[in-house]
Amino acid sequence: MTSVGGARTPGPRTLDWFPLVGAMIGLVLGGVWWGANRLWSAQLSAALVVAADLAVTGLLHIDGLMDSADGLLPHLDRERRLAVMASPDVGAFGVAVAIAVLLLRWAALAAVRPSVILLVAIWCLSRTGMAVVARTQPYARPEGGLASAFAGVPRWAPLIAGGALSVALALVWRVPAGAVSVAAAVVAGAAVVWLARRRLGGFTGDVLGAAGVVAETAGLIAAAARWS
């Protein structure tokens, strides 16, 4: 989820921390956005935020997005999809989707006045959604994997708190734009999970990363709309 702090073996309680870590990442990125905008143009400031997000997450989620695009979008059988997603290689689908998503994130950030609150809300929401998926959806790989370590007795209080915090901060940022941004993020992330459930039978670690990135991107695009 982040490259800060080094490698750790995940467990069921790890999911409890997803909303908080998401909020912290949003806080860091919001600080970069706010500070950079006072030194450079909106376009360069947005590019620095995109780069900072890649650095903080250690490229893990964008890698998950690319692997998911290569596995979920082509016409393949289920076993082949899983094999493609496990491969270290990146195909045309992954490259194209990653470029499109990074451009959309940059353009959306460049079109919005810098707001720490907005990024905390969106990033907290994306991590909360990832944790909800891990606790409600079946794991796609029968042999198990890194994300399967999250399985266990669900604890919902931290995730409910994360969702409530995300909605509250989005509404503090702007009404009705904040509500639409949250709704767009939820729908977009859920669409990725739905596609994975349909084509893989469940989620993988790559799917969690892809859902988070797509949710964040959709939230930013909605926030950048020309609200009256």
Residue 156 has pLDDT above 90, yes or no: no
- pLDDT tens by residue, 175-185: 999 999 999 99
Residue 150 has pLDDT above 90, yes or no: no
With contact defined as beta carbons under 8 Å apart, do 133 and 193 qualify? Answer: yes
Domain ranges of the chain: 12-62+106-135+156-223
Tokens of 116: 């720490």
Q: Looking at residues 164-178, what average pLDDT do you find?
A: 96
| Residue of 97 and 158 predicted with greater confidence | 97
Q: Which pairs from 99-104 meet CB under 8 Å and 24+ separation?
A: 101/62, 101/65, 101/213, 101/214, 101/217, 102/50, 102/62, 104/217, 104/220, 104/221
- pLDDT tens by residue, 77-120: 999 999 999 999 999 999 999 999 999 999 999 999 999 999 99
Angle, alpha carbons 137-79-186 (nearest 5°): 30
Percent of the chain with pLDDT over 90: 84
pLDDT of 228: 44
**Average pLDDT of the chain, as a whole number:** 92
Tokens of 4: 């800060």
Q: Looking at residues 53-67, what average pLDDT do you find?
A: 97
- Asked which of 26-30, 134-138, 193-197 is least confident by mean pLDDT, the reply is 134-138
DSSP string, 144-201: --GGGGG-SS---HHHHHHHHHHHHHHHHH-TTHHHHHHHHHHHHHHHHHHHHHHHHS
Largest CA distance in the chain: 52
Q: Global pTM?
A: 0.92
Q: Which residues pair with 139 in a beta bridge?
A: 203
- Sign (positive or negative) of CA dihedral 111, 181, 198, 148: positive
pLDDT of 147: 57
- pLDDT tens by residue, 2-22: 555 555 555 667 889 999 999
Chain centroid to CA 130: 8
